[in-house]
Amino acid sequence: MKKLLCKKAAEVLEGLSYEQLMDLVEMPADEKMGDFAIPCFTLAKVQRKNPAVIAVEMKEALSVHKSVLGISQLENVGGYCNLFVDRETFTQHVLEKISRPNLGISPIGTGKTVCMDYSSPNIAKNFHVGHLRTTIIGNSLYKLHEKLGYKVVRINHLGDWGTQFGKLIVAYKKWSSKEQVEQEGIDELMRIYALFSKEAPKNPKLIEEARAWFVKMEQNDREALAIWDWFKEISMVEFERVYEMLGISFDYYLGESFYRDKVPALIEELQEKQLLVESQGAQVIDLSPYDMPPCLITKSDGGTIYHSRDIAALLYRKANHHFHKCLYVTGLEQTLHFKQIFKAIELMGYHWHADCVHIPYGLVSMDGAKLSTRNGNVIYAEDILKEAIGRALEAIEEKNPDLPCKKAVSEKIGIGAVIFHDLYNQRIKNVDFSWEDVLSFEGTTGPYVQYTYARAKSILRKNGMQNLPSDVDYRCLVDDIPFTLVKILMGYEETVCNAAQKYEPSILAKYLVTLAAAFNRFYHECPILNAAPAERNARIILVDTVQKVIKDGCALLSMECPEEM
Which residues of this chain interact with ligand ARG, rule CB under 6 A?
117, 120-122, 157, 159, 310, 328, 330
82, 76 Cβ separation under 8 angstroms: yes
- C-beta of 152: minimal distance to ligand ARG in Å? 16
Closest CA to 92 of 74, 70, 72: 70
- C-beta of 186: minimal distance to ligand ARG in Å? 14
- C-beta of 335: minimal distance to ligand ARG in Å? 12
* Residue 473 CB coordination number (10 Å): 15
Q: Which pairs from 221-230 meet CB under 8 Å and 24+ separation?
A: 224/169, 227/169, 227/172, 228/160, 228/165, 228/169, 230/181
- C-beta of 339: minimal distance to ligand ARG in Å? 13
Ramachandran angles phi, psi of 77, nearest 5°: -130, 110
Nearer to ligand ARG, 93 or 157 (CB): 157
Nearer to ligand ARG, 117 or 544 (CB): 117
Distance CA 475, CA 538 (A): 9
Nearer to ligand ARG, 117 or 218 (CB): 117
3-state SS assignment for residue 325: strand
Nearer to ligand ARG, 91 or 340 (CB): 340
* Residue 141 CB coordination number (10 Å): 24
Distance CA 551, CA 561 (A): 6
- C-beta of 354: minimal distance to ligand ARG in Å? 18
Strands 295-298 and 369-370: unpaired
- CA torsion sign, 540 to 541 to 543 to 548? positive
Nearer to ligand ARG, 156 or 445 (CB): 156
Nearer to ligand ARG, 16 or 254 (CB): 254
Tell me 121's DSSP state: P
E strands within 9-138?
Answer: 36-39, 71-77, 80-85, 113-117
DSSP per position, 65-131: THHHHTEEEEEEETTEEEEEE-HHHHHHHHHHHHTSGGGG---TTTT-EEEEE---PBTTS--BHHH
- C-beta of 333: minimal distance to ligand ARG in Å? 9
Ramachandran angles phi, psi of 400, nearest 5°: -150, 65
- C-beta of 159: minimal distance to ligand ARG in Å? 3
Distance CA 240, CA 237 (A): 5
- C-beta of 167: minimal distance to ligand ARG in Å? 17
- C-beta of 171: minimal distance to ligand ARG in Å? 20
- C-beta of 445: minimal distance to ligand ARG in Å? 28
- C-beta of 115: minimal distance to ligand ARG in Å? 10
513, 126 Cβ separation under 8 angstroms: no
- C-beta of 163: minimal distance to ligand ARG in Å? 15
Nearer to ligand ARG, 45 or 370 (CB): 370
Closest CA to 447 of 467, 472, 420: 420
Nearer to ligand ARG, 125 or 211 (CB): 125
**What are the b/e assignments for 33-51, b being 16+ CB within 10 Å?**
bbbbbbbbeebbeeeeeeb
Distance CA 2, CA 70 (A): 11
Amino acid present at 161: W
Nearer to ligand ARG, 329 or 512 (CB): 329
Cα angle vertex 389, ends 458, 454, to 5°?
A: 10
Return the residue nearest ligand ARG (CB atom): 159
Ramachandran angles phi, psi of 176, nearest 5°: -140, -170
- C-beta of 365: minimal distance to ligand ARG in Å? 18
Nearer to ligand ARG, 159 or 416 (CB): 159
Cα angle vertex 555, ends 553, 560, to 5°?
A: 120
3-state SS assignment for residue 520: helix
Ramachandran angles phi, psi of 415, nearest 5°: -65, -45
203, 174 Cβ separation under 8 angstroms: no
Nearer to ligand ARG, 259 or 420 (CB): 259
Environment class of 328 (CB within 10 Å of its CB; exposed 0-12, middle 13-18, buried 19+): buried
- C-beta of 122: minimal distance to ligand ARG in Å? 5
Distance CA 286, CA 292 (A): 8
Nearer to ligand ARG, 239 or 519 (CB): 239
Nearer to ligand ARG, 39 or 121 (CB): 121
- C-beta of 72: minimal distance to ligand ARG in Å? 53
Nearer to ligand ARG, 202 or 374 (CB): 374
Tell me 162's DSSP state: S
Nearer to ligand ARG, 330 or 452 (CB): 330
Distance CA 231, CA 176 (A): 13
